[in-house]
Chain A
Amino acid sequence: MHRNKMSLKGLVAVIVAIAAALFPLAALAQDGGAGAPKTFLPYVFAVYTVTWAAFFGYAFYMARRQRELRREIDELRQQQADKGAA
């Protein structure tokens, strides 16, 4: 159940990441309509990519760390319970 929840979270994160990348890409494809020089949108795209990559990287790090800690807490609690029983 817990694993399903995690993989669903991951799937949602991937979909959001792809969609987030598509907006600047779509804008990049139709550059020129707003009257701005064509060379500017790669900079805009770079900004959005860097920001999203940083947030997703950080979210990934937090999710992994949380998983590790949960497992560690469960193991330590189990060890203590075993000690208590012995």
Chain B
Amino acid sequence: MMLTDLALIFMWVPAERVTGNLFLIFYFHVPLAMTSFLAFFVTFVSSAMYLWKRNSKWDALGQASAEVGVLLISLVLITGSIWAKPANGVWWTWDPRLTTSLILWLVYIGYLMVRAYAANPSQAARFASVIGLIGFLDVPIVYFSAVWWRNAIHPNLYLGPLAEPDALAPQMQNGFMFSMFTFLVLLIYVLWERTSIRIQEDQVKALRNA
């Protein structure tokens, strides 16, 4: 799927009128951002479920999705920075979306640090779940920041409830949707693998204590 996605991006999708080939970054950058939001949403739901049911499988899923989400949002910040340099002449600017994305990254780094440094596993799970619940509040702020504080760096929304219908040409839209789908499948696969690792880690702990 990834190879098909790359073939579509580099051989089928037309170049953008103004930025030309630089726009090819969009087909990785935006799906990375959307899948990171989805990963944090999974953390949000898992955190709520863990606090309610106290089932460690919810905690495992929450931890896995937060870790994957941090990987994805880190890539969003890096790829965005690489895009910004030729497009705007700077690697970084304190634009509202960039700033809120950086805050999102810091929140979930905090989530992982709480897990790493908590006194015991049940405290780590509880504290991290609270951060997973509250931290998700920043995700809609990142998404709507492009609408609330209009700016030249993120002029359009391409996906979601406020997406502008003709923001992309049909062929570009199809390429983008395929890229979105590919990253979604990748997210599900990585989440599945990471959750099963965490469950195995719990098994090891249980066997050691037995």
Contacts from A to B (Cβ < 8 Å): 16, 19-20, 23-24, 26-27, 31, 34-37, 39-41, 43-44, 46-48, 50-51, 54-55, 58-59, 62, 65-66, 69-70, 72-73, 76-77, 80
Contacts and interface: CB of A to CB of B under 8 A. Distances in A.
A69 B197 contact: yes
Contacts, number: 101
B117 to A, nearest CB: 20
A76 to B, nearest CB: 4
Given A36-B20, A40-B21, A27 B86 contact: no
Contacts of A54: 71, 74-75
A34 B197 contact: no
B6 A47 contact: no
Contact of A77 (B14, B28, B207): B207
A52 to B, nearest CB: 9
The size bracket of the interface on B is 35 or more
Given A47-B83, A76-B207, 13 more contacts: A19-B6, A23-B6, A24-B10, A27-B10, A35-B15, A43-B25, A43-B83, A58-B71, A62-B194, A69-B200, A69-B203, A72-B204, A73-B204
28 contacts: A16-B3, A24-B6, A27-B10, A27-B24, A34-B15, A35-B15, A35-B20, A36-B15, A40-B20, A41-B21, A43-B85, A47-B28, A47-B29, A47-B82, A48-B6, A48-B28, A51-B28, A54-B75, A55-B186, A55-B190, A58-B190, A62-B193, A69-B197, A70-B200, A73-B203, A73-B204, A76-B207, A80-B210
A71 to B, nearest CB: 10
B3 A46 contact: no
A31 B82 CA distance: 18
Given A51-B28, A55-B186, A73 B10 contact: no
A62 B197 contact: yes
B85 A23 contact: no
Contacts of B32: 51
B82 A46 contact: yes
Nearest to B68: A58
